[in-house]
Structure 1
Amino acid sequence: MATKLGTTYSPCTQKKKQQNPSFKDLDGVRADGRGIYECRPAFLRTTAVNAAAGSAYAEFGNTKVIVSVFGPRESKKAMMYSDTGRLNCSVSYAPFATPVRGQVSEHKEFSSMLHKSLEGSIIMESFPKTTVDVFALVIESGGSDLPVIISCASLALADAGIMLYDLVTAVSMSSLGTNLIIDPLLEEESCQDGSLTLTYMPSRSEVTQLTITGEWTTSKVHEGMKVCLDACKKLGEIMRLCLKEAASTSDD
């Protein structure tokens, strides 16, 4: 299922990093033809890994991610601490995922941020004294990797039958000078002087995590959050439709 959420802009080169491109001069159109507030077309599929309890595949432009969920399984560590379940998250990159081959393997920072984004959406009491493992693999890094990982992981948890308060959607935004662009490409991220990543549970209208880097004015933060929230809501509809289609297919 491919769905779109949503003249040419050339990302800044190494020599032009001090002077960010102006979308006003370029009619607000980017290298891939999108507007500054337009997300890439999203392709989502569940049950991508047969050996896993649940899995999902996500493709947003050139960013391609696959997530596998295993468990709940018995965990001595979880039993020691509480009667609730335990969530483990791991994010890694395929050797060929980045322009420089083998540049990234395990990504500990993304693993931690994935955990923080998902834990509030999971009903941990539904699998006491057991552990759920989430393994995300970036097959191709095309920009906005973390938001795609988070959204794909939430879809994989739902596919695994893990009880959730709601799905988690995620969108990022880059600040380039006076301009804000949503769902940035890898080239655009290399030019940014600030970034905003928002994770959101649409049905509950709850933000599970907000990460901001660089210098942002209050008005810029408000504008960025508003645009990201709208995109997260649209992405949530696509994710729910994906699950409904998967359920109807399995019933047949």
Structure 2
Amino acid sequence: MPLDHRRVRGPEESQPPELWGTGRKDEEDVEDEAPRDPCALRPLFARAGLLSQAEGSAYLELSGGTKVLCAAWGPREAGEAGGTGGGQLLCEFRRAPFASRGARWRPGTAAEREAEREAAAALREALEPAVRLSRYPRARLAVSALLLQDGGSALAATISAAAMALADAGVEMYDLAVGCALCRSPGPSAPWMLQPGEPEERRAVARLTVALLPALNQVSAVLGGGQGSPPEAWAQALRLAIDGCHRLYPVLRQSLLRAARRCGAATATTTA
């Protein structure tokens, strides 16, 4: 068989690259050695107005690996199925095949479709109280969320990013819906942890995700479940989540203000 001289021949013997690594420890072991403050929020990066193909968009990233991209469209005519009342809010949630560690998420499976439907329903439940749907009769608003990487607190990050995308699209809203997640590890004295990472969520026996309208101090959604926690513990978790949402609110507002300034500067430059 003739040789292909356009290809570079590899070595006859090779070793796995792990042999030349720096001895990096597993993420769970690192977190066990240096536990963080349960009431501390993870650093957050948010930016609005990234996608030119959408009327509104937002990207949100949490320290630890969670990355979510949201886009919003509307209002558009809902057609005959829209009814005569207020507008409709349609939410879509998709998960990238490479979003989680380990084996890839298999797209198109029944488990995947069910998980995405549940996440989309939770997203709609959290966003509907924030949007003034009565101002858009016989109209339709659409929100699409793509989870690029799941590093923990994915649903809470998606709620915040979707609310930012709607605001960036110019949709009339009562307030931004801010999401905050908590989880509780096994043990009678284990505390609730704000914005848990993926390893912490994997070990948790109870989880809670809260969506809040901070300016109105109104809870728009409470999602969660678990076992081994008395009612007083759930009440404490709700208070912690509300406090976390209030602390995240200024960051999201500043991101929207920066996006509005960029849009205004671009419009002024084009006009000139």
Q: Distance in 1 between matches of 2:224 and 2:73?
A: 31
Residue 70 (structure 1) aligned with residue 79 (structure 2): no
Match of 2:126 among 117, 128, 146: 117
Pair member with larger Rg: 2
Q: Distance in 1 between matches of 2:152 and 2:81?
A: 35
Task: Please name the residue that 1:149 is paired with.
Answer: 158
Task: Please name the residue that 1:102 is paired with.
Answer: 105
| 8 Å contact kept, 1:78–1:131 | no
Deviation at 1:223, TM superposition (A): 1.7
Deviation at 1:11, TM superposition (A): 4.1
Partner of 2:196, secondary structure, is coil
Give the gaps of 5 or more residues in structure 2: 1-25, 266-272
Relative to the length of structure 2, the TM-score reads: 0.79
Deviation at 1:46, TM superposition (A): 0.5
Q: Distance in 1 between matches of 2:81 and 2:56?
A: 21
Residue 41 (structure 1) aligned with residue 53 (structure 2): no
Identity between Structure 1 and Structure 2 (%): 30
Deviation at 1:10, TM superposition (A): 6.8
Task: Please name the residue that 1:179 is paired with.
Answer: 191
Letter in 1 for 2:144: F
Correspondence 1:1-20 to 2 at 5 A: 11=28
Q: Distance in 1 between matches of 2:138 and 2:92?
A: 20
| C-alpha distance 76-249 of structure 1, shift in aligned 2 (>3 A) | same
Q: Distance in 2 between matches of 1:84 and 1:128?
A: 4
Relative to the length of structure 1, the TM-score reads: 0.85
1:95-120 per-residue CA deviation (whole Å, 9 max, x = no partner) reads 11122213465511100000000001
Q: Distance in 1 between matches of 2:104 and 2:177?
A: 31
Task: Please name the residue that 2:247 is paired with.
Answer: 234
Residue 51 (structure 1) aligned with residue 63 (structure 2): no
Deviation at 1:82, TM superposition (A): 2.4
Task: Please name the residue that 2:87 is paired with.
Answer: 85
Deviation at 1:54, TM superposition (A): 0.3
Task: Please name the residue that 1:189 is paired with.
Answer: 201
Partner of 2:71, secondary structure, is strand
1:49-88 per-residue CA deviation (whole Å, 9 max, x = no partner) reads 1100100000012000000111111112553x22311010
| 8 Å contact kept, 1:78–1:84 | no
Task: Please name the residue that 2:223 is paired with.
Answer: 211
RMSD: 2.1
| 8 Å contact kept, 1:78–1:86 | no
Instruction: Report how many aligned residue pairs link the two structures.
Output: 228
Task: Please name the residue that 2:20 is paired with.
Answer: none
| 8 Å contact kept, 1:89–1:114 | yes
Task: Please name the residue that 2:21 is paired with.
Answer: none
Task: Please name the residue that 2:233 is paired with.
Answer: 220
Q: Distance in 2 between matches of 1:109 and 1:98?
A: 18
Q: Distance in 2 between matches of 1:102 and 1:11?
A: 21
| C-alpha distance 232-75 of structure 1, shift in aligned 2 (>3 A) | same
Instruction: Compare the two structures and name the one with the higher helix fraction.
Output: 2
Task: Please name the residue that 1:164 is paired with.
Answer: 173
Task: Please name the residue that 1:15 is paired with.
Answer: none
Q: Distance in 1 between matches of 2:53 and 2:224?
A: 37
Deviation at 1:245, TM superposition (A): 1.6
Partner of 1:111, secondary structure, is helix
Task: Please name the residue that 1:16 is paired with.
Answer: none
1:130-163 per-residue CA deviation (whole Å, 9 max, x = no partner) reads 1111000001111111000000000000000000
Instruction: Compare the two structures and name the one with the higher strand fraction.
Output: 1
| 8 Å contact kept, 1:48–1:66 | no
